[in-house]
Amino acid sequence: MMLVFRLAPVGLLVSRQRIINHYNTAFSEMFGYDDRELIGQSLERLYPTRHEFEHIGDRASRIMHKQGSYSDDRIMRAKSGHLFWCHVSGRALHRATPLDEAAWAFEDLSARWPVTAELTTREREIAQLLVMGKSSKVIGRELAISPRTVEAHRARLMTKMNATSVSQLVARLIGRG
């Protein structure tokens, strides 16, 4: 069974209380870390900022508590500092305590969705939620900011990405525009 884990074609990781317990070769290659370099380290090392680590952790915990699993597309950080879009899926061992022990799969989306602009932490959060198809009102509720603030950030994203509509912005965020 360990051979299957090690040779899986997607990045796999097991965490306990958001501390890295074990990961496979595909994960090492994707993030640029040696085989055992991250063992015992916080998952925070994989996020662009501490805020994103905490925010996504809170959201994942709530959803995993209800559903047992969680997935999203987000911008992650490799050892080199390079930022890339990644599809992340996780399953909790116990739904009641979802982040106590969980298994995670990572798929590098950078070939299809390159990060093409320097974005702030808040812009990355809003970009992630826009890519998920969420409205300004829902994004505002999720981030505890007003929909008007979301729209201001979205407008800056549109300028940075040279987009004239939200659909064009989403297409450019995922490398299709």
pTM of the model: 0.79
DSSP-derived 3-state class of residue 115 = coil
Query: What is the Cα Rg of the chain in Å?
Result: 16
Q: Taking the chain (177 residues) in consecutive chunks of 10 residues, what is each chunk's mean pLDDT?
A: 87 97 96 95 96 93 94 94 93 93 94 80 88 89 90 89 84 73
2-108 with 121-173: one CATH topology? no
Distance separating alpha carbons of residues 68 and 61, to the nearest angstrom: 9
pLDDT for the residue 174: 74
pLDDT of residue 177: 58
Q: Which fold has domain 2-108?
A: Beta-Lactamase (3.30.450)
CB contact at 8 A, 88 and 71: yes
Helix and strand tally (H, E) in the chain? 7, 5
- Every domain of the chain and the residues it spans: 2-108, 121-173
Q: What pLDDT was estimated at residue 124?
A: 87
pLDDT of residue 116: 74
> Which CATH topology does 121-173 take?
Arc Repressor Mutant, subunit A (1.10.10)
Whether the Cβ atoms of residue 20 and residue 44 lie closer than 8 Å to each other? no
